[in-house]
Amino acid sequence: TGVTIDNLWCYISTTALLHLSFSERNMSMRLFVKVHARGQPAESYVISCKDARKTVGGLKRDVLGRKADLRKEPGEEYQLCLAGSDAILREDDSVGSVLRDGDHLCLCPAGSSPSQLSEPTLPSYGASVSQALGRLKTAEWLELDGNSLIIEDLMKVGNGQYRVKLSDAAIEAVKRSRKVVDDIVAANQVAYGITTGFGKFATVSIPQDKLIELQESIVRSHSAGVGGPLSPERTRRLLTLRINVLAKGYSGISLETLQRLIDALNASCLSYVPEQGTVGA
């Protein structure tokens, strides 16, 4: 046939390389990168790489572009490392040749490794909470009814200048909406997210002895986020907005649960809220 072993091997090798190039071009990867900057808390990002032929250097530039507030010393360079191993990635390598989808990376100053960089504490967090607690002891009360909250008052709540409580009308509205939920459960009616699953499981009926577990599971499934924490002031404003929306009386939340949120806010008992969350339901 005129085909030598050398020719056949050349053909196979070329075909494999072309296939690899095509695969890399069409490979979409999601990478998790933690940025370590001197004197700043570490922050985490999810980077989508739609072309695995991109170089590691190009990936590094994408990450630096996301970290807009990165403070660099004059002439300071950064390098990408594999998380957990401190192995430095060559910038001229293609992403697809050295990384896999879902890999965790670290971006840190050149000449250092993530294990050598201690993450600084957030100095203002404890102080902010303490200051807010001091103000809250003598703070005025702000009534929330779901309709009349203004930005100026929201900012004051964030700074600890107001304690919040529900208006009488809001209390009655919350009770009425909760009765609707209780009646649905008591009558074993089909209602999305109350006696059924969520999303693709909307047609799956949940037995009554599993309804509490259903609600616990949906909370756990959404309890995820990345990045640094919101400041105490922003966290207080976020919690105030949530309380204000629930005060409208449309959600079916129990008054007892809503009051617990209010008590936590007034005591500045705040959750650690990552800057980048999941859905905003």
* Segment 36-61 mean pLDDT: 81
Alpha-carbon distance values, 106 to 55, 81, 111, 208, 222 (Å): 16, 5, 13, 46, 25
Q: What is the predicted pLDDT for the residue at 5?
A: 47
Q: What is the predicted pLDDT for the residue at 207?
A: 93
**Cα–Cα distance between 98 and 66 in angstroms, integer?**
22
111 band by pLDDT with thresholds 50, 70 and 90: confident
Terminal alpha carbon distance of the chain: 68
Rg of the chain on CA atoms, in Å: 27
Pairing of strands 43-49, 29-35: antiparallel
**Cα–Cα distance between 275 and 51 in angstroms, integer?**
28
Q: What is the predicted pLDDT for the residue at 115?
A: 61
27 band by pLDDT with thresholds 50, 70 and 90: low
How many DSSP H helices and E strands does the chain contain? 9, 9
123 band by pLDDT with thresholds 50, 70 and 90: very low
DSSP alpha helices (H): ranges in 42-167?
A: 56-66, 95-98, 123-136, 151-158
Kindly report the pTM of this predicted structure. Answer: 0.55
Q: What is the predicted pLDDT for the residue at 206?
A: 93
Which residues neighbour 151 within 8 Å (Cβ) at sequence distance 6 or greater?
Answer: none
- Stretch among 77-91, 152-166, 189-203, 240-254 having the lowest mean pLDDT: 77-91
* Segment 230-236 mean pLDDT: 88
